Amino acid sequence: MLRKERYAAVIDHFATHMPIAETELVFENPYQLLVSVVLSAQCTDKRVNMTTPSIFRDFPTPAHLATTDFDTLFPYIRSISYPNNKTKHLIGLGKMLTEEFGGEVPSTVEELVKLPGVGRKTANVITSVVWNQPNMAVDTHVFRVSKRLGLVNQNAKTPLEVEKQLIKNIPKKYVHIAHHWLILHGRYVCLARSPKCLECNITHLCRYFEKNKEDILNKDALPLKRKK
């Protein structure tokens, strides 16, 4: 199957079977989403959603974060991974949003990455979720699934390389939702260690399945590494 054909088939499948796909983070405005995404780095959305209600209640605007201190904010974030750094990031983020952006979350990747704790992936999430911009955030799920399916080259080593290949091949109108298609597929079906290939509806489009079909069918388990 040519890569162009694979992309078309994968997009058609998800557009048909998952026409609505969105982040599982719970938020009501761009500021809340930004805080949630910063906290979600190397942490589950479930844990973040358990943590953010009290933060949003007591720090409802960037100005509230800007005027708090580490010892006050830290207890709210204690259960999140890397709480020390994230506490510092949120305070710095609040200050910069207040002082340089009028308390509003900027709408471009270039401006967002200036904020403490915000890298390209986070900026892509914010712009694609809030404003439906054709930006592709490549997290561990997107990286894994896109390579397994054969949407990107196997020698793509960095999230940026994967992002560029996906952006090049996915029609612009689908980019923002394709991010969620790949994440959700990776989170619930194409798992890192034990992918549920026998429950997957797109194995006929999957390059990884093509190469490991015999092992999968015979052992009811996907090998962790492709045989050489």
Catalytic residues: 121, 139
Full DSSP string of 55-84:
HHHH--SHHHHHT--HHHHHHHHTTSSSHH
Please state the residue numbers annotated as binding site for [4Fe-4S] cluster.
190, 197, 200, 206
- Interatomic CA distance for residues 170 and 99, integer angstroms: 37
Full DSSP string of 31-46:
HHHHHHHHHHTTS-HH
Cβ burial, residue 67 (10 Å; 0-12/13-18/19+): middle
- Interatomic CA distance for residues 171 and 189, integer angstroms: 24
Please state the residue numbers annotated as binding site.
190, 197, 200, 206
Rg (CA), the chain: 19
Find all residues with CB under 8 Å of 111, minimum gap 6, and list them.
101
What end-to-end distance do the CA atoms of the chain give, in Å? 21
The CA angle 7-13-17, to the nearest 5 degrees, is 150
Q: Do 145 and 190 form a contact (C-beta atoms < 8 A)?
A: yes
